[in-house]
Chain A
């Protein structure tokens, strides 16, 4: 490096402003390797050192981390899609066409990636579960975290399912019809389910009605799917992910010692 450049960069990295932001150097020293993790808000979810066998690719296949990454990716693309999409039966489909025709910059890519990554997340979360099962990683003391993981799997399916209606096309409309008709058959609380009639549940006050905001899939159902998809379910999943990751740290990583 030219001497004067070195001098300038030295001055910058020694300045009060620089040092107030970056707490340590970037030289590859054991101390910096540890600080890299401990002093970084995003990375300090990791321990500073880790059992070598816990991080073999052929042990984890990176599936849990990948699922979380896809969730973040879906959050980002989802928020961008929210700028263009209106959850209104008269506008939703037209917004989809606009996105597909790139009326919004990168609209088509945005919609495609959000859709395919949603499917990918269902796959990665399923295979993460299979991996955790096959390595017996749910065994004591990690039983509870497995149960949290099962809830996260269900939330992932519901996240994808609620997104299905939003394009307001024939595919989503009839898929959601099939799904919510099943809800109408829930024992006790679905109007077509066993034992629901004696309890006073009818088509306009049962669990299906609560999901759809009506007796059929109309504007309120679209709005409900939108709110569940964009706010309620991601918040729930986000909260449980914090618990899931925290417990992973507290219970210790599995992997033969």
Chain B
């Protein structure tokens, strides 16, 4: 009798956390992993059976593809090439994205919303991240489906031709105006929130605040520049002998 009781107690996994329900990993988790893996195998084998991986003609250095497109996951950056010089679009912007992602847990010190889905408790963080994530994929979709020869815009249902209208001429802001504008954008962008959202600034502290706002301003600035280029045909906001933005 005592033996049976001992077994009955042992049937339940040890409760280590008050109120948390613990289950055996075997089969609770392992079975799910196995099913997911199996499902993936079925899907990938079926897809690969019916759809061939692309293979074009033999590589020919003398005959450039038009358009030459990077792999789809880099097309957001290639799309950014329309609006920025390659040193920014191809190198500095992705570096900011990578560093921004890596420091994210250190600048988001909101203790709420750890371990469950919530929008209410983390409105700022979720909005900014989801917007960036979405923006990245929108640029990719444009690059994949809407860009034709010479990177001209074609809707997916349009035939690619070389007879697209000549794009309007571009112009750039003069250096002093551009420099002032950029300074004002970053200066006010850094300063104003400390006045308007004093609480936000004080909670984060100067270092976390500066990093957060700088990354945010860079993201918004990238989009504003795209707007300036599309709306006002501005090629560069800032021209210097070394870099153009």
Contacts and interface: CB of A to CB of B under 8 A. Distances in A.
Interface of A: 30-31, 33-34, 36-37, 43, 46-53, 55, 57, 59, 62, 65-66, 69-70, 73, 89, 93, 96-97, 100, 108-109, 111-117, 119-120, 122, 129-130, 133-140, 142-143, 146-147, 150-151, 153-154, 157, 160-161, 164, 167-175, 177-179, 181-187, 190, 192-195, 216-218, 254-257
Interface string B26-66: 11111011001100110011011101111111111101110
A190 B101 contact: no
Contacts of A139: 105, 108, 110-111, 113-115
Contacts of A52: 20-23, 28
B113 A136 contact: yes
Contacts of A73: 40-41, 44
A69 B36 contact: yes
B122 interface: yes
A257 B19 contact: yes
A30 B11 contact: yes
16 contacts: A43-B25, A48-B24, A49-B24, A65-B37, A69-B33, A69-B40, A73-B44, A100-B52, A135-B116, A138-B108, A170-B56, A171-B56, A171-B65, A174-B69, A185-B90, A217-B61
Interface of chain A, main secondary structure: helix
Interface in B168-200: none
Interface residues of B, number: 82
Interface in B102-141: 102-106, 108, 110-118, 122, 126, 129, 133
A147 B19 CA distance: 31
Contact of B122 (A57, A136, A168): A136
B32 A181 contact: no
B115 A100 contact: no
A65 to B, nearest CB: 5
B88 to A, nearest CB: 9
Given A142-B105, A182-B89, 15 more contacts: A33-B25, A37-B25, A62-B33, A65-B33, A129-B101, A130-B133, A136-B115, A138-B105, A139-B111, A140-B114, A169-B56, A181-B90, A182-B86, A187-B91, A187-B92
